[in-house]
Structure 1
Amino acid sequence: MPARSPLSLAALASAAVNGLEPMRTQTVDANADDVDTALIEDNLSRHWVVRAPRNDVASMRLDAESELVSRLRSWLPFGLPEAEGVAALPNGSRALVHRKLPGRPIRPLELLHRSALAVSYGEAIAAIHNLPTRLVEEAGLPIYTAEEYRFRRLAELDRVAATGLTPVRLLTRWEHAVEEVGAWRFVPCVVHGDLAGDNVLAEGEAVTGVMEWSETRVADPADDLAWLSIGATEPVLPVAFKAYLEARGEAVDVDLRRRARLSGEFAIARWLLHGVHTDDAGIVDDAVQMLADLEAGVGDQPW
C-alpha cells in the first residue's frame, strides 16, 4: 500500500491517545520500509511518535515489539518506546503511539572524544544482555543455542555466496570464521539485534533511550557490539568494552570482539541480500561498493 500522509498519521495518533490534539506533524524515516512513521507535537507541547504498519508482516512485528517492551520497562535504566495508545486500521492491524524518547542518536566519532558516553554505551548494552531470557521467550521471539546460531550464519553465508557479488577473499575469510567451531562457544543472552543507526539515543554523557526492538532474540551477544566494532575508532573500543564487561559480570568470552567484527561485516552482506531480494539495483550497487571497500580494508588478514 502507498505511504500514509502526515495528516493521516496525525489523525491516527489523535484517535489512539485521549486528549492528543496534533498541532505539528513531521514524517520521519523508519528503519523498515513497511512502516509509516511520523513525529507529532500536540497542543500541550508534548511530542509523540506514531507508527502504522503497511502489511501483515509489519503489523505482527510491531505487535511483538510492543509486547516485549511492556515486559522490559521495569528492567532497563533507559527509555523504551512503550505504546500509550493504539488506533485500529482498516485491515485489522493497528497503529501504535508512544512518547518521543529524549536524546539524539549516538554517532561513532562522538565516542572518541567522550569517554563517559562510551562507558554509558557499553553499560547500556550490558543491561540488555543481562535481561532474563524468559522475557524474550514469553514474548514469542526467537531463541537460539550457540550451535544453532553458528549454523544460521553458515546458511546466511551460502545465500551471500550464491549472489556471485561478494569478493572471494571476503567469502574465504567468513568461511574460516564460521568454521572455527571453538570461537562460537558463547553463552546466548538477550540481544537487541539492531543497535546501529538512530536506535541508541543519548543526552549529555548518558544513554537515554533505545528504539526498535523488533529484532530482539536470544542469541550471540557479539551482534550488539558489531556497530561499535565497525563504526568506532580503536581508542574507543577498550573503554566501551571494559565498561560492558564489568557491567556484565560474566566470564570473559575471548572471541567476543572477533565475532563482533564479523557480525559488523556480515551486516553489509545482509544489506546486499536485501537489495537482491527486493530487486533494488540502488541497494545492490551500494552494498557491492561497501563490500569492495571492506575487502580493501581487511585484505588477507585473518578474521
Structure 2
Amino acid sequence: MTDDEEVALYDPTGEVVGSAPRSVVRARNLGHAASSVVVRDPMGRVYLHRRTTTKDVYPGLLDFAAGGVVLAGEDPAVGAVREVEEELGVSGVPLEPRGVTHYADEHTDHVAVQFVTTWDGPIRWQPEEVSWGEWVTVEELVRRLDEEPATLVPDSRAVWSATVRSWAADQVPLEQGWDNVTTLVEGRWVDRVARRPEAESGLLAEVGLLTLLAEGLPLEVPRPVVLDQDPLRVRHTLLEGTAVDPLALTAADGRLFARFLTALHATPPALAAEARCPSASDDARHRIAGVARFRDVVLPALPAAVQRAGDSLLGRVATVREQALCHGDLVAEHVLGHHGHLSGVIGWGDARVTDPALDLAWALNATSGPFAQAVADGIRADGDVRARSRDWWALAPWFEVEHELEREVEGRGHGDADAHGEDLQRAHRVLVDRLLWWQGA
C-alpha cells in the first residue's frame, strides 16, 4: 500500500464520513477504520509477530493481530481478508466477526473491526510488514500483557485484552485420573498436566503413539500435541460423543470395535518402540511388581472365603503369554458414541505392549450380549482368550482397593482416619463380587 492510496474516514461510532490519502490520515491522525484479525491455530495458540522497523505506526513492536487501514469504498470484512493474506499468508479460511471497538492515541485514531480465524497452514511473512513471528499459548500472551506490555502494540492490547483473558479463563476441570490433571478449555480442547514428574513420560508416549496410529484406526482418537514443556502440558481437540451405555451397544457396534482392536493389536512392535510405549519387557516387570503389591496389600484384606480365588487370579495374570500393543484401559467411559454409533476412543494413558486380552476385559464381560458376541467373533477369540479376558476383568477392582488402602493410611497420618472409609468399603465390595463372579465363570 502506498501513501497515496485513499483511506476511508470514520467517526468514533463507525460511520463513514469521507476519505483522504493515507499520508494525510497519518500526518493529521484522522479517524479511520482498521481491520484487526487474531490468527489461532487448531490447538488455540495465537500467532505473535514483530512489526518491521519501517512501519508508519508502532515500528518494531510485537503484535498478535494482523490487519490494516480500510480503503475508501472497501467493506471492512473484505479489507480484513486482504490484509491477513498479505501480512501472514492466511487465506481461504472464514473470518469470524468479533465486534467493533474505537481506539485513539497520539499515533492513531481508528475503529478496530475485529475478527478471529483458525489457520493450520504455513505462515508467510510480508517482508515490508513482518520481521519475525511464532505461535504462543493464550497463557503466554496474557503473561506478556501483564509483565511486558510495552513490547506489544497498544491498540491490539486495548482492543483484544479482555477477549484474550476470557479465553485464558475459560477452563473447566474434568473427571480426574490418578496420573494427570485434566481440563476442558474453551469448550473445544482437553489439556492434561502430569501430577508427578514421573507421569510425564506417559503423556509424551501418548503424543508420539497417537500421532502414528490415528490415521490407521477405524475410530477417532485424540491427536495430542505438546503445548508447554515446564510443566509439560499436552492438548487435543475434544472428540465428539459421550461415554457409551455398555448394555445399549449393538452387534454393529461390536463389529466396528473388533475392527478397531484388530488394527490396534496389529501395530508393528517397531512403531510402539518408536512412540516410546512401555515394552513387553516393561510389561513383565510391571506384572511382577503389581502382583507382589497385591499379595502384600490387597489379598490379606479379603474375606477368607475368596482369598484362595484371589491368589489363583494373581498367579494367572502374572503369567506372560501373547503380547501386542494395547490401549490398556478400555472401559465404558473411554469409549464414545455419537448419534447412536461408536465414534471414538479416549484415555490412552495406559497404552503399552501387553496381553491383548486386557483390551477385551470390558468388551466381553461387561457389555450387551450382541456387542460382546460380535467382538468375540470379529477377533476370533478362542477359549483361552476369553478366559484371560475374564482374568483381567476380575483384576480391575484390585487397583481401586489398593489406591483406597493407601489413602486410608495417608488419612491416618493426617488425623482423618475415617475420611476414605466409605470409598474403601465400596471398592472392597466390588472386588469381592468380581472375584465371586470369576470363580463361578
TM-score bracket relative to the smaller structure: 0.7 to 0.9
| 1:14 counterpart (138, 161, 171) | 138
Alignment partner of 1:38 is 2:184: yes
**Larger Rg belongs to:** 2
Q: Contact conserved, 2:324 with 2:356, CA < 8 A, in 1?
A: yes
1: CA distance between counterparts of 2:310 and 2:273? Answer: 30
Alignment partner, residue 155 of structure 1: 292
CA apart distance, 1:177: 4.5
Query: For the structure 1 residues 180 and 196, does the alpha-carbon distance in structure 2 shift closer, same or farther, using more than 3 Å as the test?
Result: closer
Q: Contact conserved, 2:221 with 2:345, CA < 8 A, in 1?
A: yes
Query: For the structure 1 residues 222 and 168, does the alpha-carbon distance in structure 2 shift closer, same or farther, using more than 3 Å as the test?
Result: farther
Alignment partner, residue 60 of structure 1: 201
Alignment partner, residue 288 of structure 1: 428
One-letter code aligned to 1:225? L
Query: For the structure 1 residues 169 and 143, does the alpha-carbon distance in structure 2 shift closer, same or farther, using more than 3 Å as the test?
Result: farther
Query: For the structure 1 residues 153 and 55, does the alpha-carbon distance in structure 2 shift closer, same or farther, using more than 3 Å as the test?
Result: closer
Higher relative contact order (CA 8 A, sep 6+): 1
Secondary structure at the counterpart of residue 283 of structure 1 = helix
Give the alignment of 1:1-303 within 5 angstroms: 14-15=138-139, 22=167, 25-32=171-178, 34-41=180-187, 47-84=188-225, 86-88=227-229, 92-111=230-249, 114-144=250-280, 151=288, 154-162=291-299, 164-177=300-313, 179=315, 186-204=321-339, 206-245=341-380, 253-279=382-408, 280-298=420-438, 301=440
Alignment partner, residue 4 of structure 1: none
Instruction: List per-residue Cα deviations over 1:174-217 (Å, max 9, x = no partner).
Output: 43355469x95732111110111421112246432221222111
Query: For the structure 1 residues 171 and 71, does the alpha-carbon distance in structure 2 shift closer, same or farther, using more than 3 Å as the test?
Result: farther
Instruction: List per-residue Cα deviations over 1:237-263 (Å, max 9, x = no partner).
Output: 222211233xxxxxx643111111110
Q: Which runs of 5+ in 1 are unaligned?
A: 1-9, 42-46, 246-251
One-letter code aligned to 2:292? A
Please say which of residues 121-130 and 150-159 is displaced more in the overlay: 150-159
1: CA distance between counterparts of 2:379 and 2:266? Answer: 11
Using the aligned pairs only, state the percent identity: 24
Instruction: List per-residue Cα deviations over 1:16-63 (Å, max 9, x = no partner).
Output: 89xx9639543211333641322423xxxxx22122333313333222
2: CA distance between counterparts of 1:179 and 1:79? Answer: 36
TM-score (norm 1): 0.75
2: CA distance between counterparts of 1:201 and 1:117? Answer: 11
What root-mean-square deviation, in Å, do the aligned CA atoms of Structure 1 and Structure 2 show?
3.4
Q: Contact conserved, 2:365 with 2:372, CA < 8 A, in 1?
A: no
2: CA distance between counterparts of 1:211 and 1:38? Answer: 14
Q: Contact conserved, 1:195 with 1:227, CA < 8 A, in 2?
A: yes
Q: Contact conserved, 1:161 with 1:171, CA < 8 A, in 2?
A: no
Secondary structure at the counterpart of residue 35 of structure 1 = strand
CA apart distance, 1:70: 1.8
Secondary structure at the counterpart of residue 209 of structure 1 = strand
1: CA distance between counterparts of 2:391 and 2:361? Answer: 8
Structure with more of its chain in strand, by fraction: 2
Number of aligned residue pairs: 273
CA apart distance, 1:222: 0.9
2: CA distance between counterparts of 1:78 and 1:149? Answer: 29
Secondary structure at the counterpart of residue 280 of structure 2 = coil
Q: Contact conserved, 2:309 with 2:435, CA < 8 A, in 1?
A: no
Secondary structure at the counterpart of residue 51 of structure 1 = strand
2: CA distance between counterparts of 1:289 and 1:229? Answer: 22
CA apart distance, 1:84: 4.5
1: CA distance between counterparts of 2:323 and 2:350? Answer: 15
CA apart distance, 1:72: 1.7
Q: Which runs of 5+ in 2 are unaligned?
A: 1-43, 46-135, 142-162, 409-419
Instruction: List per-residue Cα deviations over 1:138-192 (Å, max 9, x = no partner).
Output: 2222222697677466435423555x222334332243355469x9573211111
Q: Contact conserved, 1:169 with 1:295, CA < 8 A, in 2?
A: no
One-letter code aligned to 2:242? R
One-letter code aligned to 1:224? D
Q: Contact conserved, 1:35 with 1:53, CA < 8 A, in 2?
A: yes
